[in-house]
Chain A
Amino acid sequence: MTDQILTDLEHETLATLADVLIPAAESMPSFSDLAAHKTHVERVLTLRPELQPDLRRALANVIASLPNEALEKLNMGDPQAFGTLGLVASSAYYLDPGVRDLLGYPGQISRPATPEEEHDYLIDDLLQPVIDRGSIYRKAPD
C-alpha cells in the first residue's frame, strides 16, 4: 500500500473517467473491465513519473457522478492534463495481455526471418518490372 503511487480514490476516479474515454464497445472491454487496470496504471506511472503531476491535476475536483462533464471541462480548460489522462489510460489499457489478444497483437516479438522468406519477390517476379525498366540514375560530370 505504501508503495502505491495513486490512492485508491484516485484510481477509482481515473477508472471512472477512463471508462468514458475507453468504453466497452466494438467488441472491446472498457478500461475498468480490465482486472489489472490499477496494476497497469501503477506501472505506467512508475516508468513515466513526470506524468504524475498533470494526472493528479486531471483527477482533482472530479465529481465522479458526472464524468462526461468533468472530461469536457478538462478537455477545454486544461488540455495538457486531459492529454496526460488520456495517455495514462490508453497506455495502461494497451499493456493488458487480454486486450492485446483481442486485437490480435502479439507485441513486438522476436521472429527472425527464414531464408525462404527473403527472396519471394524474385520467385514470383514482383521485382521483375523494376529490373526490366533498367537504370534510372543520373550520371554526373567530373
Chain B
Amino acid sequence: MNKKADSAEVLIIGAGVSGAIAAKHLAEAGVRVICLEQGRKVEPEEFYGDKPEWELMSQKRWHPNPNVRDQPTDYPIDVSESDVNPLMYSAVGGSSVIYAAHWQRFMPSDFRVRSLDGVADDWPFKYEDLEPFYDLVDIEMGVSGLAGDPAYPPMSPPPLPPHPIGAIGRRAAKGMNDLGWHWWPAPQAIPSRPYRNLSQCARRGTCMQGCPEQAKASTDLTHWPDALKAGATLITGARVRQITMDAQGKANGAIYLDREGVEQFQAAETVILCANGIGTPRLLQLSATAAHPDGLANSSGLVGRNLMMHPFAAVVGYFDDPMESWVGPAGQAIHSMQFYETDEKRGFVRGAKWNAMPTGGPLGMRSVYGGKPLEESWGATLHQSTKKRLGRSFEWGIIAEDLPSLDNRVVLDDTLVDSDGITAPKVIYKNSENTERLLAFHLERAKEAMMASGATDMSTTELMRDCGWHLMGTCRMGNDPKTSVTNQWGQCHDVPNLYIFDGSLFVTSSGFNPTATIAAIALRCVAHMIENRSSVEVAS
C-alpha cells in the first residue's frame, strides 16, 4: 500500500454538498484539507439537456438510480428488501449534480416533533440555532425566491428574485386560490440572474439530468473552485474502503483504491464523513475493528438505522389549454404547505410539501414494459396520449415526511460487492402505516387541487419506487450517546476526531427536500470546528 506523504489536518470523505462546504470553509481558514471522492468532475458538455436525446439519456446514463445507471463511479445497492430505491450520484458535487435544487428550509416544528406530536425525537438544536446558517448558505448557493412566504417564519430574503411561475404555476395557483389553499412561488438553488460562478437559468427544464448551462447550484460550481483556490486538495477516483484507527482510539486516516486498483493510505488528524445517508453508515460498518465490532462509532447500535427516504407520490393533471409545460426550471414553479403541519383529525401525524413541476418532452417516462393490450399504449392511442400530455400538463409532487424507524436501515450486504470488491450496502426499508395514510390523504387533496385548476383528466402515481432522493437519519445526532451517533456538531460520541456532516445526521426528515438543511448543518458544524480549532481532538 502506498502511504501518502502529506498528512491531512482534515480528511473529508465525499465531495458532495456537505463535503464541499466543509472543504471551502476549512481551507479558507488555513486548514490543510484533503478530500477523497470516488467520482470525478463532470463537465457540462456531458449533459444532454441541450440536446434532442435528453429524454432518452435520462432513462439510463442520467437516471438517478445507481443500480440503473451502472456507471464506473457507481456502487450497487441491494434493494431486495426495500419499498424504495435510493437515488444518488457520485461526483465532485455529489447528488447536487442531478438534484432538482428545491431549496426548502425545515420548519420550526420539524425540530420539535417529539414535543409537538409525541412521535420520533427532538433535535439537539432548534430552528433559530440553524437560521443564521440557512441565511449564509442561501447566499453561497445563489437561491432564488420571494420573501414573505406565510408558511415560514419571517426570514432574510433570498439573494436573487424568484423565477417566473410560468403558465403551469399560474394554473396550479388558480386551483389553490379557488380552494383557499396556500401556495407560494417556489424557492430554488437555481439563479434567476447570473450569479458568481453560475449562469442565469435558461429554463430548459432539464435540471435533474445535470445543467448544461452551469446555471444550477451544484457544489462543484459553487464551492469547489473556492476550496481549491484556498489550497484544498481534491483527489478524485478515490474509493474509500476503510477509516483507520490508531492505538489511542482516534481516526487517523483512510484506505482507498485509486483507479488503477492500487491501495493507498491517506493519513489525517481529523476525519469528516460526507458520503451521504447510505455511504457514510456503509463506510463506518466497513471500518469495524475489535474495539468497534459493530462498526466505527456505533456503541449506540444506531449506525445505519432510522433510514428515512421521503416517500413520494404524484398527480399529473391534463388540460385543454397549451401551457408549454416543458419549460423549466425543474426546479419547481410553486410549492404548497397547506397540509404540512400535523392535524391529528386526519388520522396521521406530520405532513407533506407539494411542488408543481413541468412534465418534460414527448417521450416521457413511457413504460417500456409489455404485457398489456397493444391498443392501450400504441397505435392511434400513442398519438392521442402524447398530444394530451405534451405541453398541457403539470405535476403536483407530494414529499411525505418519513418517520424514523429502527427497522429501516443500511447494512452490509452478504454477497454483493462493488467494482473494487468492496462490500456493497443493503437497504432494508418499509413504508409505515402513517406514511400510507398520509399519502392517501394528500393524493386526494392533490386531485381536488387539479380539479380546481381545471384539469380534464388526471393520472396518479401512488408511490414511486424510484423516489429515494433524500437519504437521512442513519447516523443521527443527539445529546445522549446511548441514543445518537454524534453530538450536535457532528462529532462522533465514540471517536472524538471523527465527524459526520451529511444527511445521516438528521433526527427527523421533515416533509422538505433536505439539501438546504444538509448545507446549513454542514456550515454550522464546520464553523464550530473552525472556532474551536485549538481544542479539537486529533490523531497524533
Determine if B196 is an interface residue (Cβ-Cβ < 8 Å). no
Q: Which of A87-142 contact B (CB under 8 A)?
A: 87, 90-91, 94-95, 99-100, 103-105, 107-113, 115, 117-121, 126-127, 129-131, 133-142
**Chain A proximity mask over B349-377: 1 for CB below 8 Å, otherwise 0:** 00000000000011100111111101001
| Interface size in chain A (residues, C-beta < 8 A) | 64
Contacts of A64 in B (CB 8 A): none
Contact of A75 with B201 at beta-carbon distance under 8 Å, contacts A47-B57, A87-B368, A95-B53 already known = no
Determine if B533 is an interface residue (Cβ-Cβ < 8 Å). no
**Residue in chain A with minimal CB distance to B174:** A126
B384:A26 contact, CB within 8 angstroms: yes
Determine if A44 is an interface residue (Cβ-Cβ < 8 Å). yes
**Residue in chain B with minimal CB distance to A77:** B370
B163:A118 contact, CB within 8 angstroms: yes
Find A121's partner among B54, B161, B173, B372 (CB 8 Å cutoff). B173
**Chain A proximity mask over B84-113: 1 for CB below 8 Å, otherwise 0:** 000000000000000000000001110110
Contacts of A111 in B (CB 8 A): 202-203, 327
Q: Which of B303-330 contact A (CB under 8 A)?
A: 322, 326-328
A140:B192 contact, CB within 8 angstroms: no
Q: How large is the interface on B (under 10, 10 to 19, 20 to 34, 35 or more residues)?
A: 35 or more
Considering the chains assembled together, what is the distance between the CA atoms of A19 and B169 in angstroms?
37
Contacts of A75 in B (CB 8 A): 370-372, 374
B161:A133 contact, CB within 8 angstroms: no
Determine if B184 is an interface residue (Cβ-Cβ < 8 Å). yes
Considering the chains assembled together, what is the distance between the CA atoms of A100 and B52 in angstroms?
10
Considering the chains assembled together, what is the distance between the CA atoms of A95 and B182 in angstroms?
39
Determine if A22 is an interface residue (Cβ-Cβ < 8 Å). yes
Contacts of A28 in B (CB 8 A): 383
Considering the chains assembled together, what is the distance between the CA atoms of A19 and B337 in angstroms?
47
Determine if B473 is an interface residue (Cβ-Cβ < 8 Å). no
Contacts of A78 in B (CB 8 A): 370
B367:A83 contact, CB within 8 angstroms: yes
Considering the chains assembled together, what is the distance between the CA atoms of A32 and B363 in angstroms?
18
A52 CB to closest chain B CB, in angstroms? 13
B112 CB to closest chain A CB, in angstroms? 4
Determine if B461 is an interface residue (Cβ-Cβ < 8 Å). no
Contacts of B185 in A (CB 8 A): 121, 127
